[in-house]
Amino acid sequence: MAEAIILDNVVKTFSEGLKDRLVAVDHLSFTIERGEIFSLVGPDGAGKTTTIRMMCGILPPTEGSISLLGYDIQKQKSEVKKHIGYLSQRFSLYQDLTIDENIDFFAEIHKVYKYKDRKEELLTFTRLTQFRDRLAGRLSGGMKQKLALACTLIHTPDIIFLDEPTTGVDPVSRRDFWKILSSLLKSGITIVVSTPYLDEAERSTRVAMMNQGRLLTCDTPEAIKSSFHSEVIELVCDNVRAASEVLLRSFVRKDIQLFGDRLHILVQDAKMKKNEILRTLKKEQIEVRSYRIIPASLEDVFIASLNV
């Protein structure tokens, strides 16, 4: 694959006063290939949005360099803009315009005048055709994101940047949105998406895990998980918090992870440790409803890396 974007030792700092300096992105280097879905994942404050805004040319890097399709992101901004689409966290749809009118408006912003066929294609693709006369303000959260995506794609960009596009969207709409993104790859487009959801990152070609502006790892989801040497015991019990406190007497904090009503324990030998864990919890009168040994997920790997 050819390279779509190259970040080389990129740093971004913000001044918080005459002396204070916030390092939002800290010596970030990676390459994004053409035709892949590349996910930036991490908690709030990890530097995901700042990184995307620098890749779009909205923010200049303090240090380092970024190239996009061979163009210097700072010296050739006008050329870069022709090739990208950007869906920000607060994408501004016009609430009092219909779906049709919003797409028309964004087409004209991008100086695309022969776009009727393209619009019909996008409406079909996002399954919005039957709602085209509905005001944007009356759409559900998931439909608004589909419309925002259609507006982002109307000028047929080579690369699209999506900054947490499914935050606040219901699970069914999130899944539907990602199916649409996967379908887009057939056209050869490159998709760069930031997300706090590790289950979404599993659908990506490659994942860059970030924390406090730094890159923790960057690889395919399969490679990241296969490099993780711990096994996972998943427990379902009535009081997972009490169970975690009991098990912390024998395990370090990073090896005990809470996932709703489930508890993940990271161990080296799951078959041997399983019986020991069950005995310990039974002694404390904590009933285990079910347990199983499962492969590590990206979320397991990420949370463990934050606590190293």
Query: 10-residue block means of pLDDT along the chain (308 residues)?
Result: 92 79 94 96 93 95 96 91 89 90 93 92 93 94 92 94 89 88 91 92 94 95 91 90 90 83 89 89 90 90 78
In this prediction, residue 19 carries a pLDDT of: 67
Taking Cα atoms as reference points, which of 28, 40, 33 lies closest to residue 195? 40
235: left (phi over 0), alpha (psi -120 to 50) or beta: beta
- Rounded Cα–Cα distance for residues 102 and 135 (Å): 9
Taking Cα atoms as reference points, which of 119, 117, 112, 110 lies closest to residue 81? 110
Burial of 265 (0-12, 13-18, 19+ CB in 10 A): buried
Cα distances (Å, whole numbers) of residue 196 to 38, 40, 199, 210? 14, 8, 9, 10
* Residues 6 or more apart in contact with residue 109 via CB below 8 angstroms: none
Please report the domains of the chain, with CATH numbers, ordered by start residue: 228-306 (3.30.70.100)
In this prediction, residue 186 carries a pLDDT of: 87
In this prediction, residue 21 carries a pLDDT of: 83
Phi, psi of 283 (to 5 degrees): -60, -30
Cα distances (Å, whole numbers) of residue 82 to 58, 76, 79? 14, 11, 6
In this prediction, residue 229 carries a pLDDT of: 85
- Rounded Cα–Cα distance for residues 298 and 225 (Å): 6
List % helix, strand, coil for the chain (3-state, nearest 5).
35, 30, 35
In this prediction, residue 238 carries a pLDDT of: 82
Per the CB < 8 A criterion, the answer to whether 216 and 284 are in contact is: no
The first and second tokens of residue 138, run together, are: 């009356």
In this prediction, residue 239 carries a pLDDT of: 87
The H or E element containing residue 267 is strand 262-267
In this prediction, residue 257 carries a pLDDT of: 86
In this prediction, residue 308 carries a pLDDT of: 55
Stated length of the chain: 308
